[in-house]
Amino acid sequence: MTIYGNEPNLQLIRTMAEHDRLPHAALIYGERGRGRKTIARYFAMTALCREANKPCGNCPSCRKILQDTAEVHPHPDFIWVEHSGKKQGFSVETVRGICKDAIVAPNDGERKVYLFADCDSMDIRAQNTLLKLTEEPPPHVLLLFTAEHRNVFLATMLSRMMPLAVRPCTPEDCRRALTEDHGIAQGDAERAAAACAGNIGRALAWLQDPELQEMTASVGEATNALADRRLYDLLRILARYEKDRFKASEVLRLLDLQVRDAALLKYEGTEPAGCDRESAQRLSGTLSAGRSRKLHEAVQSAYEALQANVSVKLVLASLGGSLLL
């Protein structure tokens, strides 16, 4: 299992296991595509490993976890809790089932590990149902959660979870992961790593999705238009997405990251988060602190208007104006 850019997290998990201090609940959180589930598997592998040097990667338990994928879960004590409902949260029935199951001793070893993956739509009822188990788990239970943001959880839940923030890996690590683990050609890997700011999961999706590639290219063009204050070009680029609220939102999210980069690239050692470094660098040269804050606010309020169902066409047109006023 190769995990890029998260050695401090893995080290922490190993040290806790070594001192027999693994928590009963942990939350692995951060941007989608940054390896939250891979870290959860590593956590489970460490907790369930039967050798002294955990995770050994070789014992029958470790081997089963190494074969675990999103679809196949060969280890009987590493349990992926099923999503349910329209929003892909967890139903109260499902959670009740887990609470019952958690009382039963493990099948194979000393622990049972439950993974609640992608908890971003886990509602309050489900969390309340889970609260007692999280507060007073049987000694053999380890609950793992993954989510984009911590604040999806109730404070009472959060206070029982050990938080682990996934760390972004560098574009260099991302390129290595793409070429070495996924057999992607060097040139493609470089382009994908740059367009996705080193997010491996996103880079893999980007390589297979021409629409995503087109969107990152548009955002680069828009950033250049912003740097040169070319209003009509900016409007023309934004108008490409006026028929698709989802794509328009994604474009604004990416544009906001470009503005963030432009504001921060002046400072050394900042890793870019946006999809086109060159144009962010150009924009950076034209920005005062006040102006970058205004750009960020304009993009943010347009993004919010899109989520609030305001006409996409209207939002994009008025954003073009307010960016260049």
- Residue 76 or 285: the one with the smaller Cβ distance to Zn ion is 76
Other residues' Cβ atoms within 10 Å of the Cβ of residue 299: 23
Q: How far is the CB of 58 from Zn ion (least distance, A)?
A: 6
Stretch that binds Zn ion, among 13-21, 60-68, 104-112, 289-297 (CB under 5 A): 60-68
CB atoms within 10 A of CB 314: 12
Least CB distance to Zn ion at residue 64 (A): 10
Q: What is the dihedral of CA 7, 13, 19, 22, to 10 degrees?
A: 170
Write the CB contacts of 322 (distance below 8 Å, at least 6 apart in sequence): 298, 302
Distances 5 to 35, 36, 170, 186, 202 between C-alpha atoms, Å = 9, 12, 7, 20, 15
Residue number, 51 or 180, with CB nearest to Zn ion: 51
Residue 59 vs 158, nearer CB to Zn ion: 59
Give me the least distance between CB of 96 and Zn ion, in Å please.
Answer: 32
Amino acid at 307: Q
Adjacent-strand bridge partners of 143: 25, 114
Is the CB of 3 or the CB of 62 nearer to Zn ion? 62
Give least dist CB 106 to Zn ion, A: 15
- Kindly state the smallest distance separating residue 55's Cβ from Zn ion, in Å: 5
**Quick one: which of 3, 62, 147, 157 contacts Zn ion (CB under 5 A)?**
62
Residue span binding Zn ion (CB under 5 A) among the ranges 8-16, 44-52, 148-156, 220-228? 44-52
Judged by CB under 5 A, does residue 59 bind Zn ion? yes
Comparing C-alpha atoms, which of 152, 203, 265, 252 is closest to residue 5? 203
Q: Determine the interface stretch with Zn ion among 49-57, 122-130, 273-281, 286-294 (rule: CB under 5 A).
A: 49-57
Per CB under 5 A, the segment of 26-34, 56-64, 153-161, 180-188 that binds Zn ion is 56-64
The answer for residues whose C-beta is within 8 angstroms of residue 254's C-beta and 6 or more apart is 215, 216, 219, 274, 275
CA distances, 172 to each of 33, 167, 178, 193, 198 (Å): 16, 14, 10, 8, 7
Smallest distance, Zn ion to C-beta of residue 49, A: 3
- Helix, strand, or coil (residue 4): coil
Q: Which span sits near Zn ion by CB under 5 A: 50-58, 85-93, 111-119, 195-203?
A: 50-58
In the complex, what is the shortest distance from the CB of residue 40 to Zn ion, in angstroms, rounded to a whole number? 16
- CB 48 to Zn ion: min, Å: 8
Among 56, 92, 205, 310, binds Zn ion (CB under 5 A): 56
| By CB under 5 A, residue 1 contacts Zn ion | no
Comparison of 32 and 57: residue with beta carbon closer to Zn ion: 57
Residue 267 in tokens: 């400072």
Residue number with CB closer to Zn ion (47 or 49): 49
Query: Number of residues in contact with Zn ion, rule: CB under 5 A?
Result: 5
The reply to whether 13 sits near Zn ion by the rule CB under 5 A is no
**What minimum distance in Å lies between the beta carbon of 46 and Zn ion?**
8
**DSSP string over 226-273:** HHTT-HHHHHHHHHTTTT-HHHHHHHHHHHHHHHHHHHHTTSTTPPP-
Under the binding rule (CB under 5 A), the answer on residue 49 touching Zn ion is: yes
CB 285 within 8 A of CB 227: yes
List the one residue out of 32, 128, 143, 134 whose CA is nearest residue 80. Answer: 143
Which residues of the shown chain bind Zn ion in the complex (CB under 5 A)? 49, 51, 56, 59, 62
